[in-house]
Structure 1
C-alpha cells in the first residue's frame, strides 16, 4: 500500500468527490483599470470620422450628444450590469447564451467578429493614408496616399502583425491595445485639440461656421441619415467585456472603466471635431484620404 499525503487527497463535498487541482507557479495575466479604459476607448474612437462630422459645424455637437444619450449610455449601463452579474465569464457569448442558449450565443459573437473583420480594414486604409503624409514633398505624399498597392501592403502587414501578437496571449494583446490606443488615438487626438487651441490663440481665423444652428433640420433626409450613422461611431462598448475575467476586480473595475470610457469618448469626439472644423476649411477636407 502507498500512503498519500494530505495535499494528494481529493476534496469531498457531500456525495461528490472533486479532485483538487495541483498548484502551479504560472502567473495569471490581469488587465489594469486604466489599460482597460484605453482598450474601451480605442474600440469605439476613430479619428478618421472627425473630418466628416466637421463639415456640419456646431450641429455635430447635437448629433454626438443625442447618440450618446440614446445609444452609448444605455449600452454602457447594460454592459456594466451584465459584466457585474457574470464576472467570471463575461462577453456577448455568455450574456446571450444565458438567455437564449449557446447556439444564439455563438451566433451573436460570430456576428460581432464579422463586424470587426469588416471594420478593421477600413481603419487601416485611413491609417495608411495618414501615414503617407509624413513624407515630403506634399505632391509625393498625395500620390502615395492614393496608391492602391501601398495601401494594400500597409493593410496586410499591420493586420497580420496584430494577429501574430495576439497569439502570444492576453498579456501581449492588452499591452498592444494600451500602447496602440495611447499613441494611435488618444495622444494624437489630444495633440489635434491642443494645436487647434494654439491656432485660435495666435490670432488665426476660425474656419468653423459659427452661424450654423445647434439643432439640425430633420426635414432633410440627409440629416436623418447622418443621425443614424453617428450611432455607429459609438458602437463597440460591449466588445471588451470578453476580458472581464482578466480584470483584477471585475465587479468594480468594469463598471468604473465603462463610466470613464463613456465620458472620454464623447469629449474626444466633440473636441476633436470642433478642432478640425476650426483649422481646416470644409472645401479642403477629403473623406478618402483624411485632410489634404
Structure 2
C-alpha cells in the first residue's frame, strides 16, 4: 500500500514536474517582454488548466488522474487511449530531456565538449532510458523526488543561481548591452506583428505543461479537497517566481544577440566570471541541475501507466 503524501511533499512533486531549468533560459531570451509573456501564459493557460485539474481531482477521487476523468466522461476505451497517449509522448520527451542533460553532465565532470559529441549523446540517452526504468521498478520515485529530489534538484540549484545572479546584478547594475537591455515601457509589450516575439508565446506557455498530470497523486494525499488545491496553487506560485527572478538576472548578464541558450550552466559560468568566483561552482550547479532535470522524469512516465492499470 502506498504511503500518504504530506502537502509539503506534494508541493515538491508538482514543482519538480513543472519547474525546469531550460524554461528559465527561454524566458530570459524574451528580455523585458518576459513579464507580459508570463502573464499571458498564467491567464490563458496555467490557471484554466490548474482550476480544471483541481475540480476533477477533488470530485473524482480515484486512481488515474486524466485517465480516470476521460474514462468517466467517454467510456473506458477512451480512458485507456488518453493514458496510452500520455505514456507514449514520454518517449520523445525523455529523448529531448536526456539530450539536454548531456551538456550539464559535461560541465559537471569538467569536459564541456561532451555536450557536442553526438555518439556520447546517443549512449547517454540509452543509459538514461534504462536507468529510469529500473529505478521505477525498485523505488517509490514520487516520494523520493518530492521529499529529497526537490531540494537537490530545484531549490538548491535555483537558489545558487539566484545568489550568484543577484551578486552579479549588484556589482554591475542594469547592463544596457545585455540581452535584457535598457528599460523602456514600449519594450515590455510584445508586438503582434513581430514573428520573433510571437515565437515565444508557446514556449513560455510550455513552462506550465504537466499541471494536469499532477492529478495522479490526488489519491495519495491525506485530505484531497484541502491539500490538492492548496498544494497546486503554492507550487505554481513558486514556479512563477523561480522562473521570473532567475530569468531577469540571466538576461542581464548574457550579451545581446545570444537569442537562444543551450546550456543552463552558461549563465552560472558567466556569473562566476563577473564576480571572480571559482569556476567549480558551475560544476556543483551542473550536478544539482542534472538531478533537477532527471528526477521528475524518473517517475512521471510510468506513473500514468501504473495508475491506468490500477484504475480499472
Aligned to 2:136: 166
RMSD over aligned Cα atoms: 2.2
Normalised by the length of structure 2, the TM-score is 0.76
Aligned to 2:210: 236
Q: 1:165 to 1:91 in 2, by over 3 A?
A: same
Structure with more helix by fraction: 2
* C-alpha distance in structure 2 between counterparts of 1:172 and 1:126, whole Å: 21
Aligned to 1:57: 31
1:221 counterpart (195, 211, 214): 195
Matched, 1:198 2:181: no
Matched, 1:271 2:245: yes
* C-alpha distance in structure 1 between counterparts of 2:169 and 2:55, whole Å: 43
Residues 43-52 or 172-181, more deviating: 172-181
Partner SS state of residue 216, structure 1: coil
Unaligned runs of 5+ in 2: 267-312
Report the alpha carbon displacement of residue 105 of structure 1 after superposing the two structures with TM.
Answer: 1.2
* C-alpha distance in structure 2 between counterparts of 1:90 and 1:188, whole Å: 32
CA contact (8 A) 2:70 2:82 kept: yes
1:185-235 CA-partner distances (Å, limit 9, x unpaired): 332122212211111223466332133511101112332332123222211
2:153 counterpart (184, 187, 206): 184
2:90 counterpart (108, 113, 116): 116
Partner SS state of residue 167, structure 1: helix
* C-alpha distance in structure 2 between counterparts of 1:204 and 1:211, whole Å: 12
Aligned to 1:144: 114
Q: 1:276 to 1:85 in 2, by over 3 A?
A: same
Q: 1:163 to 1:201 in 2, by over 3 A?
A: same
CA contact (8 A) 1:83 1:90 kept: no
Q: 1:50 to 1:69 in 2, by over 3 A?
A: same
1:66-119 CA-partner distances (Å, limit 9, x unpaired): 101111011111101111102233500111111111111111122222232222
Q: How does 1:10-89 map to 2 (within 5 A)?
A: 28-89=2-63
* C-alpha distance in structure 1 between counterparts of 2:221 and 2:30, whole Å: 40
Residues 27-36 or 244-253, more deviating: 27-36
Aligned length, in residue pairs: 261
Normalised by the length of structure 1, the TM-score is 0.81
Q: 1:131 to 1:38 in 2, by over 3 A?
A: same
Partner SS state of residue 89, structure 2: helix
Report the alpha carbon displacement of residue 53 of structure 1 after superposing the two structures with TM.
Answer: 2.7
CA contact (8 A) 2:27 2:243 kept: no
Q: 1:178 to 1:281 in 2, by over 3 A?
A: farther
* C-alpha distance in structure 2 between counterparts of 1:180 and 1:112, whole Å: 23
Report the alpha carbon displacement of residue 274 of structure 1 after superposing the two structures with TM.
Answer: 0.9
* C-alpha distance in structure 1 between counterparts of 2:196 and 2:81, whole Å: 33
Matched, 1:153 2:123: yes
Partner SS state of residue 188, structure 2: coil
* C-alpha distance in structure 2 between counterparts of 1:158 and 1:180, whole Å: 17
* C-alpha distance in structure 1 between counterparts of 2:170 and 2:154, whole Å: 24
* C-alpha distance in structure 2 between counterparts of 1:116 and 1:261, whole Å: 22
1:211 counterpart (172, 183, 194): 183
CA contact (8 A) 1:166 1:173 kept: no
Aligned to 1:7: none
